Chain A
Amino acid sequence: MHPAAWLALGVFALAYVVIASEKLNRAAVALTGGAAMVVIGATRGDAMFFSPETGIDWNVIFLLFGMMILVGILKQTGVFEFVAIWSAQRARARPFRMMVMLVLITALASALLDNVTTVLLIAPVTLLLCDRMGLAPIPFLLAEAMASNIGGTATLIGDPPNIIIASRAGLSFNDFLIHLAPIVVVLVAVFVGLCWLLWGRHFTHDPERAAAVLALTPRETITNRRLLWQMLAILALVLLGFLTHSLTHLEPSVISMIGAGLAIVVSRLDPEDYLQDVEWETLLFFAGLFIMVGSLVHQGVITQLADALTTAIGTNYHVAAQGILVGSAVLSGIIDNIPYVATMAPLVHDLVGPAPGLPPGQQSLWWVLALGADLGGNATAIGASANVVICGIAKRNGHPISFWEFTKYGLIVTAVTILCTIPYVSLRYFILP
């Protein structure tokens, strides 16, 4: 490698270490890293802003941006609070049934929304339900963080790593539904069983306490019925847009921006209301990451790495797939899965190319990257953004979750879900393709 490539690798490694240490704001680190890449000559303005291979992936940024606006407006209706309380009442406020309902709602919502948004919406209402029932909320919050990471794995829009993978690999919303949703359904069922073993069997039912939950008035939480119906219609249209990508050829980012625009028009909300849920820091973090990874691509570092891996793998994609699955799960538990996937996606792209048209064995590398990174996020308290958010909410409400408390359950859940995924990958892509 030439000196500029080594310098770029040094800047990247340093930024990665600082991001992983969580000592500094991650967006600031990623943007500083991106600026450093420009200063050392590892990238240029046109490569940063206009190149799909080496620049900021605007599809990812605008898909996230549009979905954040949509969720921000939907949040104003109170529908999430209604569904959570209603489902707890449907479970007759029996603790384990309530946990199952909340896990299912979280997993389903995470498949359609960003994981962080989902846990931000579900955690306060969970605390309310546990408070009324006199239950310790930590098992419920842990279960929800993990359910959001599992559920988010199912779709293109469910987890930010999937958005990056879809954009790099050229995968559609339907591809994710076909390849990942079936195993996620199985994993959610397995996770419910784990919830029983880890927490549910220790719960006791108190009819008097349960009455306090049954007395809650979920309908009152819906503050704007008109907006609720409008937003449900717009979300249905957005979903339809994702599903009909093969006919319309509209990018997911375009569909989400059209949906966001429509929601802004019909909701008539002020900009400060619909923009308050846009996580600008996350968007800037993505932009900085893309510049840094793009610089490595621009300098040929990724290609050289891919060449070395190609030599090592040869044609043994089965071993490579299982290796990436387990390796991604382990690494995603240690570092944030977003920078990990942002780095790995161009590497896999150089290894096997875009996903459409690839034989199942080679295409599996894209799917195991998504499965490993998304499910591995459950391993530790810092493995995924949703975990960090849940721990923050728990602490603010007087129920701190230590790193090790999260990790002791997270490792079990990650190990079991990855063990369930290994045979799925073997059967689906190599034994019964």
Chain B
Amino acid sequence: MRAEELLEQVPIVHRETTGAEAARVVAEFRLTGLVVADDQDAPIAVIPGTQLLSVVLPQYVRDDPKLAHAFDERAADDLCRKLNTVTIGELLDAKRLKAAQVPSVLPEDTLIEIATVMDQGHSPVVLVRERDQSYRGVVTMSRVLAAIATAAGQDSDLVRRRLQRDIIERGRSGVLTQPDPPEPAAAGASDAPVVGD
């Protein structure tokens, strides 16, 4: 299979998206990472999901994890609510989030070429770009593994479904979320393209 057959659309967020909205997008679509796009919806970076978790934690708790035990439930909820007051852009600027540059492949690249780029870049996602750098979508590691499983004779309904429906479509069809179509990904987050599980 080639990149153009494997590419899919995943939710993206922008610098203006709040931390709480970003958390909701990740939860709704069971994403392992979050793609940040510029004003033209062109992806500029990927934030691993674990980093979003660490954003909830104040720096002093990250410096001294034992302090996490001192928080009662109310205090913990207060911390979570603070995510409404910070944007992804602010977190990136403050270096609380470290965005990784996403490697890219061409639409005609093969499964092995995609796997090589992912392996070299230690990235669970690669962008698919035309030769003129225009953005087409992303290929996620789970879709690459689904294609590998199929090629290796380990086919199944779920593997086929993973190859047929992209993240947003699966979310809308109820495979990943509720049967009802969700609202457009999030306020400040567009359901135009990019990262998946």
Contacts and interface: CB of A to CB of B under 8 A. Distances in A.
B132 interface: no
B67 interface: yes
Interface in A56-85: 78, 81, 85
Given A215-B74, A397-B58, A78 B63 contact: no
A223 B61 contact: no
B176 to A, nearest CB: 36
Contacts of B64: 81, 121, 124-125
Chain B, interface SS category = helix
Interface residues of A, number: 23
A85 B64 CA distance: 13
A220 B70 CA distance: 6
A227 B70 CA distance: 19
B94 interface: yes
Contacts of A85: 70
A131 B66 contact: no
B131 interface: no
B72 A128 contact: no
B69 A124 contact: no
A215 B67 contact: no
Contact of B59 (A220, A221, A398): A398
B59 A78 contact: no
B75 interface: yes
B191 to A, nearest CB: 33
**Which residue, A78, A121, A218, A393, has most C-beta atoms of chain B within 10 A?**
A78
B60 A128 contact: yes
Interface residues of B, number: 16
Contact of A397 (B60, B72, B75, B78): B60
A132 B58 CA distance: 12
A221 B61 CA distance: 12
B70 A81 contact: yes
B69 A78 contact: yes
Nearest to B64: A124
Nearest to A395: B59
B58 A218 contact: no
A220 B69 contact: yes
Given A396-B59, A397-B59, A125 B75 contact: no
A195 interface: no
8 contacts: A121-B64, A127-B58, A127-B59, A216-B70, A216-B72, A217-B69, A217-B70, A220-B69
Interface of B: 58-61, 63-64, 66-67, 69-72, 74-75, 78, 94
